[in-house]
């Protein structure tokens, strides 16, 4: 069976940046499962895996537009420290939840902490980066109806 829409794919991957530094990897862990064609992984990687078979591997470079998006300078804002009252142990790199004007939640990261202000960044930490993946396909199977209905892989004997 090949990697195609509605297939559950299990892959091992190593993700590196342009400098060759490893950002993330599944090596030494279980392969990462996802449903192909459902936006479970970034678009550039998903399209590169289409048609691959179990046992195949590839190297894929994904540009920011097909990865985590371009970096938007306007997504970096300085807010008053009072806006974060009640958050203990505030530290650089910490992820916080925010809301847009319509009440939709989104994540921001703390970039800088000053005496009276905090700089937050709503960009994904990998926005603007070209991502370099080494991927091996470990397993491919048909997704169950429940998995397709829920949009994600169910592991083990879990039933909803």
Full-model pTM: 0.81
Q: Are residues 147 and 154 in contact, defined by beta-carbon separation less than 8 angstroms?
A: yes
Is there a single domain that holds both residue 102 and residue 134?
A: no
How many domains are contained in the chain? 2
Domain-embedded: residue 112 = yes
Task: Look up the domain containing 19 and give its range.
Answer: 7-68+126-150
12, 64: one domain? yes
Read off the CATH number of the domain in which 143 is found: 3.10.50.40
> Are both 16 and 48 inside the same structural domain?
yes
In-domain check, residue 30: yes
- Tokens of residue 51, six digits: 């048609």
pLDDT along the chain (160 residues), means of 10: 96 97 96 96 97 98 97 95 87 90 90 94 94 98 94 65
Report the pLDDT value the prediction gives residue 64, as an integer from 0 to 100.
97
Predicted local distance difference test score (pLDDT) of residue 100: 84
């Amino acid at each position: 069976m090949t990697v195609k829409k509605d297939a559950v794919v299990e892959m091992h991957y190593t993700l590196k940046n342009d400098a060759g530094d490893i950002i993330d990897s599944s090596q030494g862990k279980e392969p990462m499962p996802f449903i192909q064609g459902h936006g479970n992984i970034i678009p550039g990687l998903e399209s590169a895996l289409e048609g691959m078979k179990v046992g195949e591997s590839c190297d894929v470079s994904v540009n920011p537009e097909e990865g985590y998006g371009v970096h938007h300078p306007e997504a970096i804002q300085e807010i008053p420290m009072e806006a974060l009252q009640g958050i203990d142990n505030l530290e650089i790199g910490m992820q916080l939840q925010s809301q847009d004007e319509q009440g939709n939640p989104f994540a921001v990261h703390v970039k800088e902490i000053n005496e009276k202000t905090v700089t937050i960044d709503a960009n994904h930490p990998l926005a603007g980066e070209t991502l370099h993946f080494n991927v091996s396909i470990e397993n491919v199977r048909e997704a169950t109806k429940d998995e397709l209905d829920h949009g994600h892989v169910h592991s083990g004997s879990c039933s909803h």
